[in-house]
């Protein structure tokens, strides 16, 4: 029983992480061109961290959807907990990206040639809010055994 609880959360977390990475790539890199493909000031560790997260996020997105199908197949899908997982994964990754990768590792900035502070604030506050909401949902659904699929 605990295993299925953990798997519902894990599938959500992985999907949330992949979702943010996908959003980042399509909206900020490809559509708006706000992010740079490669910032000449990027540190080696920033490049490695970016590479691993990029690769992991594709794997996470696809694996989480197969996990979702597996939970549905076994009739143990728990939607609320899954959404809690999504918010947690999305918030955690965006917060890590906005603080550690953008600031500490200097991977790239959200936008160039403008006052970056408002952008950074919006980015990280949204991330923290998603993370908090996700964790709260996960705590609330900790003991829920009934599948609401």
Give the footprint of other proteins on this chain (CB under 8 A): 3-4, 7, 37-38, 40, 42, 47-48, 50-52, 54-56, 58-59, 62-63, 66-67, 69-70, 74
Best CA proximity match to 84, nearest among 1, 14, 5, 13: 13
Quote the tokens at residue 113.
């040639």
Report the nearest approach of other proteins to the CB of residue 6 (Å): 9
* Three-state SS annotation for 35-94: CCCCCCCCCHHHHHHHHHHHHHHHHHHHHHHHHHHHHHHCCCCCHHHHHHHHHHHHHHHH
* Nearest residue (CB) to other proteins, 55 versus 79: 55
Provide the minimum distance between the beta carbon of 129 and other proteins in the complex, in angstroms, as a whole number.
29
CB of 17 to other proteins, least distance (A): 13
For the CB of residue 97, give the shortest distance to other proteins in the complex, in Å. Answer: 16
CB 33 within 8 A of CB 106: no
Q: Which is nearer to other proteins, 41 or 104 (CB)?
A: 41
Looking at beta carbons only, is 86 or 131 nearer to other proteins? 86
DSSP state of 10: H
Report the residue number, 65 or 128, with the smaller CB distance to other proteins: 65
Please provide the distance, in angstroms rounded to a whole number, between the alpha carbons at the two ends of the chain. 16
């Amino acid at each position: 029983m605990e295993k299925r609880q953990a798997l519902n959360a894990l599938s959500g977390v992985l999907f949330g992480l992949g979702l943010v990475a996908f959003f980042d790539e399509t909206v900020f890199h490809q559509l708006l061109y706000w992010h740079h493909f490669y910032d000449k000031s990027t540190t080696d560790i920033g490049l490695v961290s970016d590479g691993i997260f990029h690769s992991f996020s594709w794997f996470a997105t696809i694996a989480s959807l197969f996990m979702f199908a597996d939970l549905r197949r076994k009739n143990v899908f728990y939607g609320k907990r899954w959404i809690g997982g999504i918010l947690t994964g999305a918030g955690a990754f965006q917060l890590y990206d906005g603080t550690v990768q953008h600031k500490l590792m200097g991977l790239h900035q959200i936008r160039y040639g403008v006052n970056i502070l408002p952008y950074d604030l919006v980015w990280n506050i949204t991330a923290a809010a998603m993370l908090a909401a996700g964790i709260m949902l996960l705590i609330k659904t900790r003991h829920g055994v009934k599948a609401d699929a």
